[in-house]
């Protein structure tokens, strides 16, 4: 099972919306995943517990120093199509 975290500035609104979109994509693609949502700061503190971090492309720089984790940036946080594309590009199954 993949462990994915959706991260945003405060860990409230947009990360929750992204979490719901990721859940939808995972269900559609048959990906077994546990998805959480939280703030950028929290994600940086617990990233070792996850396989993938998903955030806005504008926030990618916050994760540049992390090792051994895949970080995916989205242009449009609410686009299930973009999430699917990123999963395919990154061979997430």
List 4, 5, 7, 8, catalytic entry: 8
Exposed/middle/buried for residue 30 (C-beta within 10 Å: 0-12, 13-18, 19+): exposed
d(CA 13, CA 11): 7
Active site residue 8: yes
Catalytic residues: 8
């Amino acid at each position: 099972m993949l462990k994915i975290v959706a991260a945003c500035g405060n860990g409230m609104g947009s990360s929750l919306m992204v979490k719901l979109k990721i859940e939808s994509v995972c269900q559609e693609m048959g990906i077994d995943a546990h998805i959480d949502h939280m703030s950028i700061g929290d994600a940086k503190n617990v990233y070792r517990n996850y396989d993938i971090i998903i955030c806005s492309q504008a926030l990618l720089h916050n994760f540049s120093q992390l090792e051994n984790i895949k970080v995916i940036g989205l242009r449009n946080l609410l686009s299930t199509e973009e999430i699917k594309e990123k999963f395919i590009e990154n061979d997430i199954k």
